[in-house]
């Protein structure tokens, strides 16, 4: 199974300041979520939500 | 997905929210073999297994995202053209009716398990499938990607109560 880890936290919205992340979210998906996961991170990390992403691919 | 869960969620380190989806790979129909990557019965069994594992091993609020639409005519034209140029071999296609069947089966599992549903399929359809699906008939345009990202962020905020 193909695995991929999300990139460093805090980079997606162009900030060099480490956000104070108090809640966590895991996204699992395929190449569709690969497209939007960095945008989701940029939307949620300013609110203190850490977003990580894993490529699940198929259901297996 | 099922095989990766134990690796992605460490014991005692449950995320607050897990937003998950699979199906675009499973529903691929391989023409030569005459079968799907995961036939519907396999898909539903694996999905039930994943939901059972998540509910048993995490404290996370679970959100299932429906499979986004495909445009079969567009993807057939795209991949056939690439094959004609010798860029690749076309081994599989995806069909709109199959996506509907896989989504229906997944919805039944999630509803029975009390898992929240983020209906990305409907969100794309309501906005404009023709405009939001890229030339390959499967992936999103930039506008589609932004729309899905906002829908996913909203669903997660809803679960977090923020």
Model pLDDT for residues A1-56, shown as the tens digit of each residue: 333 333 333 344 444 556 677 999 999 999 999 999 999 999 999 999 999 999 99
Query: Is B1 in contact with A28 (Cβ distance < 8 A)?
Result: yes
- State the CATH number of the domain containing residue B113: 3.40.50.1110
To the nearest whole Å, the CA of A20 is away from the closest chain B CA by 15
Query: Is B2 in contact with A52 (Cβ distance < 8 A)?
Result: no
Domain count, chain B: 1
Structural domain of B20 = 15-160
**Mean pLDDT, chain B, whole residue set:** 96
Neighbouring-strand partners of residue A28 = A54, B20
Element of type H or E holding B44: helix B40-57
Residue B100 lies in a domain: yes
Residue B8 lies in a domain: no
Residue B7 lies in a domain: no
Residue B1 lies in a domain: no
Which candidate, B27, B18, B2, places its Cα nearest to that of B94? B27
User: What does the block give as tokens for B69?
Assistant: 């639409």
State the complex-level ipTM.
Answer: 0.92
Chain B residue with the nearest C-alpha to that of A44: B153
What does the alpha-carbon distance between residue A26 and residue A47 come to, in Å, rounded to a whole number?
A: 16
Chain A residue with the nearest C-alpha to that of B43: A59
Strands B116-118 and B61-65: parallel
Determine phi and psi for B53, rounding to 5 degrees: -65, -45
Structural domain of A50 = 1-60
Domain count, chain A: 1
What does the alpha-carbon distance between residue A49 and residue B75 come to, in Å, rounded to a whole number?
A: 36
Task: Give residues with Cβ within 8 angstroms of B44, minimum separation 6.
Answer: B105, B106, B109
Q: What are the chain A neighbours of B19 within 8 Å (beta carbons)?
A: 25-28
């Amino acid at each position: 199974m193909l695995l991929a880890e999300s990139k460093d936290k805090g980079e997606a919205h162009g900030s060099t300041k480490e956000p104070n992340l108090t809640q966590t979210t895991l996204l699992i998906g395929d190449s569709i979520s690969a497209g939007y996961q960095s945008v989701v991170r940029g939307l949620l990390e300013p609110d203190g939500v850490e977003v990580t992403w894993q490529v699940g691919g198929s259901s297996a | 997905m099922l095989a990766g869960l134990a690796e992605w969620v460490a014991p005692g380190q449950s995320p607050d929210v897990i937003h998950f989806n699979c199906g675009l790979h499973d529903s691929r129909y391989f023409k030569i073999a005459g079968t799907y990557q995961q036939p519907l019965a396999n898909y539903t069994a694996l999905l039930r297994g994943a939901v059972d594992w998540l509910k048993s091993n995490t404290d996370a609020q679970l959100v299932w995202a429906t499979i986004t639409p495909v445009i079969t005519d567009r993807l057939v034209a795209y991949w056939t053209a690439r094959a004609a140029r010798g860029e690749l071999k076309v081994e599989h296609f995806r069909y709109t009716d199959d996506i509907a069947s896989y989504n229906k089966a997944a919805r039944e599992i999630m509803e029975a398990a009390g898992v929240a549903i983020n209906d990305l399929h409907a969100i794309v359809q309501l906005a404009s499938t023709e405009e939001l699906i890229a030339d390959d008939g499967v992936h999103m345009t930039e506008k589609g990607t932004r729309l899905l990202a906002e829908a996913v962020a909203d669903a997660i905020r809803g679960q977090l109560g923020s």
